[in-house]
Amino acid sequence: MIENQTPLTNQFDDEQFQGSEFDLKGILTACLRRKYGIIFLIISSLAFAWLYHQTESPEYHAVSILMINNTNTGNPLSTLLGTGGEGDDKAIKKDIELLQSMPITEVAVREMLKSSRRDSLEFFGKRKFQSNLNGFIKRLLPAKLPKEANQTTENLSVLSNTCIRQYAVKLSTLIRAQSVAETNILKVSVASPFPDEAVFLTNTLCRVYRDGDIQRNSAKYSQSNRFIDQMLRDQEKLVANADKALSEYMAEHEIYEVTGNVAQLLSKLTEIEAKYNDIQAEYHIEQNSLDFIEKKLTEADKDLSKSIAHNVQAKLGAILEEIRIRESEYVRLVSEKGADNVECKAKRQQLDVVKARYEQLSRSKIAGEIGYAGRSQKYSFDFISEKLQIERKLNLLNFSASEYTRLKKYYESQIKFLPKKQQEYAKLQREREVVGKTYLFLKEKLDESRILIGSEVGGVSIIGAAFSPFVPENASSSKNLIMGMVYGGLLAFLYVVIAEMLDDTIKDELFFKNYGFTILSIIPFIAQQDKKSFASTVDGEFLPLITDSLSSEFAESFRTLRTALNYCRVEGDVQTIIVSGTAVSEGKSNTCANLGIAFALHGKKTLIIDCDLRRASQHKIFNIPREQGLTDYLFSEYHKIDESFFKPTQSDNLFILTAGNKIPNPNEILGSNKMQELIKSLKGRFDRVLFDSPPLFLSDAAQLAHSVEGILLTAQLYYTDRTPLQEFASDSYLRSHILGITLIDPRKANRYGYGKYGYGKYGYGKL
């Protein structure tokens, strides 16, 4: 043994060697140490998962298939976003949001309240689901459980708007809408603990959404139809008046036709003016639609649309200016060379290209601004989009009207050169043809609106009604048990980590090396198959003695310990040795007994003194009476101990001085002068004197430490705490007297272990 060795108390070093314990082998070892806790947590998690499965309400999802017709020209969102996949995705997301929005769910709730099934729906609390476990408990304890009402007393026929909105919120939480990748298909379902009710809820929701979509679109077309019809009636009157005026003028002035350049000029002017009137009629129709949409929007939506329109106009200012310039050039060229001129046609084609580019960019910018703003209600998203689209179209109609106005003025200026009589005739004939063409244009628009109203099916189609599902989605026992296993594993992992963090016990030999303690011998467990070789028992518990199997590894470890103690001091033999530890049931008593046997077998006359007066055990190990022991001598009037106090054992050269009768103050008697004199007298009578001492943290052991030549500490991996040994290492007096460590290593259990009654926490030393 090296004396005056400085202990390594540096915190960094301590953490460094502690970290070495957390390798793969250490993790597996830690799991084995905590195996009972791990098994308990996993079994508990599985039990909770099973109980949860038994009490869980099933969740049936009856799926209905909706097809969103984004290619519908009446759908303003598809017009804004284009026909590409990105636009389709945004439209589908809009429909998903709408399905779960309050306006739709509130209408669906009102429809369900009108149904004959309303008084048998779990959704309204009129039907109660009872789990298997609840039913089993009720059958076992029918008298102890209060009766539960299966139906609510709420009158569904007189629900307030607040209650309906509450049910609408509840319905929105039960809805699940999923889009099928790269299609315009939606899978819609409403959850319920009953499959038939899930079908009813899903089909009602989908029907309400489809009918609402049809109603929104048909309302716009109906309003446009009425407006066009009124314009057509007014135009009929204009046609009649124009015919009458022309006929009267022809009869009065006897003019029936115009020929030559006059006819050609009149034809061009008539065509241009008719086109101008068509543009004006279409402008009024679109303006009427815009007025209809603005009535549907809130002030916040109107402000948002104005902001978006301003931003789009600012970003497209350059291309609008280009359109104005090209239109001016085109009109000037037409006035000079005529519309049929090749150069004029080329200019017209260039103008159309610029307008097409403007339309595409404006549509893209509007969609981007709407997506960025994100402040509008999902329900009014379509209206805002269509309002912006109509405003863009009105803007283009204004440009077109301006273009035809200039052409019309040009041709009117040419007619002024005709004679007065022909001018008037040309004017009346032109008016009749213009109002006639405008009448035909309005009649076509009216027919189109009637066709749209008659064929309107909306942008939503139900292509697959919901049917009763066979199994619930959340009531899979295997799924719940797997989740229970997973959660149990996580809890077990946390348990092991936390337990290891809180566990201050020593886990490998490196700790002793870092604190300067010498390991004199490692005591192994005894193999299960070698139990029969050890016959010693104490109070029915199996305890090993090396004399039971002298050829075992267990016996060899004590011979190694004996040899190490013989050569631990260079100045000579150590005769008086305290065998102690840092905790109760650490194995120091059995270590002391087997070490005494080892010295005796080597021919050394050895005495074991049982100084653990609180938990004496040596008399049990060697099966001898406790009385006439140490306390009896120290309280007697003898000044010299008699040989009768030294009880022989089955091993030659080994004697035991038992603890004697129990006393109330063991620390005082062990520190008495008579005890000091006894220790001195025994040195001349025995070759080795071993003191089976209490743990060093007790004052009893501290009293003895001043009177002996060395201290042998017994430590046990995964049992002995670090803190006491760290304190011993920093105590200069104790540190100088500690001969070394006898280490009990449970890790050798696979080779040396002997099961229940070994050197474990509740085995070795529990006497």
Judge whether 201 lies within some domain: no
Convert the pLDDT of each residue in 633-689 to its tens digit. 998 888 889 898 999 998 999 999 999 998 888 878 888 889 989 999 998 899 999
State residue 77's pLDDT score.
Answer: 34
Judge whether 445 lies within some domain: yes
State residue 565's pLDDT score.
Answer: 92
State residue 376's pLDDT score.
Answer: 43
Convert the pLDDT of each residue in 321-335 to its tens digit. 777 787 777 766 766
Least confident of 93-97, 556-560, 619-623: 93-97
Residue 389 and residue 533 in one domain:
no
Residue 531 and residue 440 in one domain:
no
In what order do the strands lie in the sheet containing 654-657?
519-524, 738-745, 710-716, 576-581, 688-692, 606-610, 654-657, 647-648
pTM of the model: 0.48
Whether the predicted pLDDT of 254 surpasses 80: no
* φ/ψ of residue 648, rounded to 5: -70, 160
Residue 580 and residue 700 in one domain:
yes
Task: Quote the tokens at residue 12.
Answer: 């960094």
Q: What is the mean pLDDT of the segment spanning 298-319?
A: 73
Judge whether 480 lies within some domain: no
Judge whether 75 lies within some domain: no
Residue 395 and residue 537 in one domain:
no
Confidence at 74, pLDDT banded by 50, 70, 90: very low
Q: Final residue of a domain: which of 430, 464, 498? A: 464
Decide: 632 and 660 in contact? Cβ < 8 Å. yes
State residue 204's pLDDT score.
Answer: 92
Domain with 570, as residue range(s), is 513-748
* φ/ψ of residue 82, rounded to 5: 90, 180
Contacts 24+ apart (CB under 8 A), 115-120: 115/200, 115/204, 117/200, 118/156, 119/156
Alpha carbons within 13 angstroms on the beta-carbon side of residue 558 total 25
CATH number at residue 605: 3.40.50.300
Residue 455: is it exposed, middle or buried by C-beta count within 10 angstroms (0-12/13-18/19+)?
exposed
Q: In angstroms, rounded to a whole number, what is the distance separating the alpha carbons of residues 370 and 383? A: 12
Q: Final residue of a domain: which of 464, 487, 504? A: 464
Residue 521 and residue 395 in one domain:
no
Q: In angstroms, rounded to a whole number, what is the distance separating the alpha carbons of residues 528 and 664? A: 41
Residue 528 and residue 441 in one domain:
no
Alpha-carbon distances, residue 417 vs 1, 253, 420, 534, 630 (angstroms) = 135, 19, 9, 140, 151
Whether the predicted pLDDT of 613 surpasses 50: yes
Residue 427 and residue 572 in one domain:
no
Q: How many folded domains does the chain comprise?
A: 2
Pairing of strands 519-524, 60-68: unpaired
pLDDT above 70 as % of the chain: 71
- Say which residue, 131 or 637, is predicted with more confidence: 637
Decide: 619 and 631 in contact? Cβ < 8 Å. no
Q: In angstroms, rounded to a whole number, what is the distance separating the alpha carbons of residues 343 and 332? A: 12
Least confident of 46-55, 93-102, 256-265, 361-370: 256-265
Whether the predicted pLDDT of 149 surpasses 50: no
State residue 532's pLDDT score.
Answer: 53
Q: In angstroms, rounded to a whole number, what is the distance separating the alpha carbons of residues 589 and 583? A: 12
Provide DSSP, 561-627: HHHHHHTS-TTS---EEEEEESSTTSSHHHHHHHHHHHHHHTT--EEEEE---SS--HHHHTT--SS
- Say which residue, 132 or 688, is predicted with more confidence: 688
> Among 86-90, 405-409, 526-530, which range has the highest average pLDDT?
405-409
Beta bridge partners of residue 655, listed in sequence order: 607, 648
Least confident of 108-117, 470-479, 577-586: 470-479
Residue 633 and residue 531 in one domain:
yes
Confidence at 79, pLDDT banded by 50, 70, 90: very low
Residue 410 and residue 541 in one domain:
no
In what order do the strands lie in the sheet containing 185-192?
175-179, 185-192, 60-68, 460-464
Question: Nearest 5 degrees, angle CA 253-CA 254-CA 256?
Answer: 120
The amino acid occupying position 216 is R
State residue 766's pLDDT score.
Answer: 34
Whether the predicted pLDDT of 530 surpasses 90: no
State residue 759's pLDDT score.
Answer: 36
Judge whether 558 lies within some domain: yes
Convert the pLDDT of each residue in 695-724 to its tens digit. 877 777 777 888 899 999 999 888 888 888
Residue 281 and residue 425 in one domain:
yes
567: CB partners within 8 A, 6+ apart: none
Whether the predicted pLDDT of 61 surpasses 80: yes
State residue 221's pLDDT score.
Answer: 67
State residue 671's pLDDT score.
Answer: 83
Judge whether 227 lies within some domain: no
Task: Quote the tokens at residue 322.
Answer: 């280009």
Task: Quote the tokens at residue 426.
Answer: 């040309």
Phi-psi sector, 532: left (phi>0), alpha (psi -120 to 50), beta: alpha
When the pLDDT of each residue in the chain is averaged and rounded to a whole number, the result is 76
Q: Final residue of a domain: which of 399, 433, 464? A: 464
- Say which residue, 567 or 750, is predicted with more confidence: 567
Least confident of 378-382, 467-471, 593-597, 731-735: 378-382
Residue 380 and residue 525 in one domain:
no
**3-state DSSP call for residue 636?**
coil
Convert the pLDDT of each residue in 290-307 to its tens digit. 777 777 677 777 777 777
Confidence at 761, pLDDT banded by 50, 70, 90: very low
Per-residue DSSP letter, 658: -
Q: In angstroms, rounded to a whole number, what is the distance separating the alpha carbons of residues 61 and 34? A: 43
Question: Nearest 5 degrees, angle CA 125-CA 129-CA 134?
Answer: 130
Whether the predicted pLDDT of 486 surpasses 70: yes
Decide: 527 and 751 in contact? Cβ < 8 Å. yes
> Among 56-70, 465-479, 487-501, which range has the highest average pLDDT?
487-501
- From the CB of residue 171, how many other CB atoms can be counted at a distance below 10 Å? 22
Q: In angstroms, rounded to a whole number, what is the distance separating the alpha carbons of residues 369 and 209? A: 27
Confidence at 631, pLDDT banded by 50, 70, 90: very high
State residue 128's pLDDT score.
Answer: 79
Provide DSSP, 294-352: HHHS-HHHHHHHHHHHHHHHHHTHHHHHHHHHHHHHHHHHHHHH-TTSHHHHHHHHHHH
Give the CA-trace dihedral at 356, 358, 362, 364, to 10 degrees. Answer: 60
Task: Quote the tokens at residue 491.
Answer: 């809890």
Judge whether 79 lies within some domain: no
Residue 289 and residue 371 in one domain:
yes
Question: Nearest 5 degrees, angle CA 466-CA 455-CA 464?
Answer: 10
State residue 372's pLDDT score.
Answer: 55
pLDDT above 90 as % of the chain: 18
Judge whether 178 lies within some domain: no
195-253 helix and 85-99 helix, angle to the nearest 10 degrees:
120
Q: What is the mean pLDDT of the segment spanning 87-94?
A: 66
